[in-house]
Amino acid sequence: MNTIQNTKIFVRGLEVQASIGVHPHEYEAAQLIIIDVELDMAGIEPPTEDKLVETLDYAVIAETAAEFALEAHVRLVETLAARIARWALDVDARVQACTVSIAKPHALVNADAAGVTYTLTRDD
């Protein structure tokens, strides 16, 4: 029997108070953004020794995404999402694609959130 396996590592609902946005009031105070990151690890082998080095630590993914969000004011959520996705593909060759969603829950009065979903795929 042939089997195909695909592993995805994710961080969902990462809350960060970030300086982000294009409007004047968005430069004055940080605002809540919610970041989701999903890494497609494609054909990564399942751990054989049950050790963290055999995978990608999702704590590192969360810490890095938060660091990008906090390092300086970013005008567009698209820019931040692209930076996080690029880092993911650069940091580990096993990552075949990265999808980053960033939501601004207080951006629109009549909506739960507004934001972006961005996917970057390795082109080998």
- For the segment 73-98, what is each residue's pLDDT rounded down to a tens digit? 999 999 999 999 999 999 999 999 99
- Tally of CB atoms within 10 A around 51: 8
Token pair recorded at residue 25: 């009031």
Q: If 0-12 CB within 10 Å is exposed, 13-18 middle and 19+ buried, where does residue 73 land?
A: exposed
With cut-offs at 50, 70 and 90, classify the pLDDT of residue 124: low
8-121 under CATH 3.30.1130.10, yes or no: yes
Helices 77-91 + 58-70 axis angle, to 10: 140
- For the segment 55-78, what is each residue's pLDDT rounded down to a tens digit? 889 999 999 999 999 999 999 999
| This prediction's pTM | 0.91
